[in-house]
Structure 1
Amino acid sequence: MMNTVAAKDIIPLLDLTSLNDSDNESSTRALCKKAVTAHGHVAAVCVYPQWVSCAREALAEFGATDIELATVVNFPQGNDDQATVLAQTKRALDDGATEIDVVIPYQALIDGDEESPAALLKAVCELTHQRGALVKVILETGALESEKFILLAAGIAVDAGADFLKTSTGKIATGATVEAVDLLVETISAKGVADHVGIKVSGGVRSKADADAYLDLIIDHLGKDWLSAAHFRFGASSLLDDLLDQV
């Protein structure tokens, strides 16, 4: 079933993202300015931890304090130790982050270790929630490959307290796929948490045509009312340009 979502209605679902080694103060300010469009604000901007303070100041300057400020920890390989990840998280929260996108230790899961990934995610969720912020768990579904591991990672993330399940870092060849997102929908539905656990599709979504496939999936399984920033996001940089061309 094909569902039509207008380009202007997708803009509020975007986490406008820049996670490049070349990022600097100028590019961070430009990202924040771009997040404020003539057709409404995006949901969030997502930057590396070292640019959180700069982004916070820029969003305030541009009158966009309603835009959430996201950053990444344990990124991108998901293999930092728990103490390091918690220190990264605390600093980001201190600097003004309102959303933490944390990479699950996915290689550990593949190697048969479920306990340490679960413990790390639970610790990050507890710290972040104490500060009134949200946690998006990056599953790196393209590295997990099999349905078994995607479902396992998604279940661990939900049980640890994740507010969103996020597909990808955008740093490996395989980003988001409709098949992987279908498994995230399956997990959320099976666990009965659709009222408080959302999905962030990230990695390779560059056009409205790309986005439409995921929107159709969500509408068909969870309903059109689920398409709000509280439940569903796209993590993207170039998608906004394509949407604005179609408004």
Structure 2
Amino acid sequence: MSKVHELAKMIDHSILHPTLTDEDLKRECEVAKKYDVASVCVKPYMVSSAVALLKDTNVLVGCVIGFPAGNSKIAVKVFEAETACHDGAVEIDMVINIGKALQGDWEYIEEEVGAVTKACHKNGAIVKVIFETDYVAKEADLIKLCEICTKVGADYVKTSTGFGFAKGDDGKYSYEGATIPNLELMKKNVGPHVKVKAAGGVRTLDGLLAVKKAGCTRCGATATKTIIEEAIERFGDHG
């Protein structure tokens, strides 16, 4: 596998913005096919269409649930996950109940992540657990989440949705997304069978290389074309 292809296979090409249409899905799946990325990550109603568009390729189809705020009841998240799997998704990115994490209700978080993980594995899918680190920012909380995800058998821990905008002192909204300190902390505190996915703010080749160095094996990105074209220019042909 070439260096460029290795990097492409880190990318979950994100097709999640609320304004994206079915035509946008077709265009973005073509991008995913062209660069042979690891997967596309799509909205729940798009799963079956993405599966059809990516038939006979090596690009997997993933889906978000409880996205982006994580507020759905556990049973609803399980239903969403099962439905996505039945539609053909083989990777599920779930958002935790952020408020429950912030109040330290770890019993609830363990029940929630455990239930979704069980449903995904039963249906042949892996699960990535989104912490939303712009909101759940304390190291102790991130460590506890890593411990819970390890305990219940989740496949990945993930930083962000890319939509976790926090209000600043100036009244404007912004987000950091994946930071190297958080990624290193997560990598250090998960078990050996749990991997780390960066998401939020990785828009350049150097950004992708930085999260790879921090221990990530997957990275959510909308700037896939920019990243891989830059990699081709730096490292040679994609093949």
TMscore range, shorter length:
0.7 to 0.9
SS in 2 for 1:35: helix
Report if aligned partners of 1:109, 1:117 keep a CA contact under 8 Å in 2. Answer: yes
In the alignment, what sits opposite 2:180?
Answer: 178
- Shift of residue 6 of structure 1? 4.2
| Mapped contact 1:137–1:164 kept (Cα < 8 A) | yes
Q: Percent identity?
A: 31
Which residues of 2 match residues 116-155 of structure 1 at below 5 A? 116-155=108-147
Aligned to 1:245: 230
Q: CA RMSD in A?
A: 1.6
TM-score (norm 2): 0.88
Q: Secondary structure at the match of 2:19?
A: coil
Q: Which residue of 1 is the match for residue 171 of structure 2?
A: none
> Distance in 2 between the 1:133 and 1:6 partners?
27
| Structure 1: tracts of 5 or more residues without a match | 219-230
The one-letter code of the counterpart of 2:187 is V
Does the 8 Å CA contact 1:100/1:134 hold for their aligned counterparts? yes
1:165 aligned residue: 157
How far off is 1:242 after superposition? 2.6
Cα contact 1:128–1:135 (8 A) shared by 2: yes
Gaps of 5+ in 2: 165-174, 233-239
Deviations 1:6-43 (A, max 9, x none): 44431111000111111221111111111122xx5100
Secondary structure of the residue aligned to 2:9 is helix
Partner of 1:187: 189
Give me the whole-angstrom Cα distance separating, in 1, the residues matched to 2:197 and 2:214.
13
Task: Work out the number of aligned pairs and report it.
Answer: 221
Task: Report the Cα distance in structure 2 between the residues aligned to 1:142 and 1:129, rounded to whole angstroms.
Answer: 28
Counterpart residue type for residue 240 of structure 1: K
SS of residue in 1 equivalent to 2:54: helix
Cα shift at 1:83: 1.3
Deviations 1:181-201 (A, max 9, x none): 01111112xx3x2xx321111
Is 2:38 the counterpart of 1:46? no
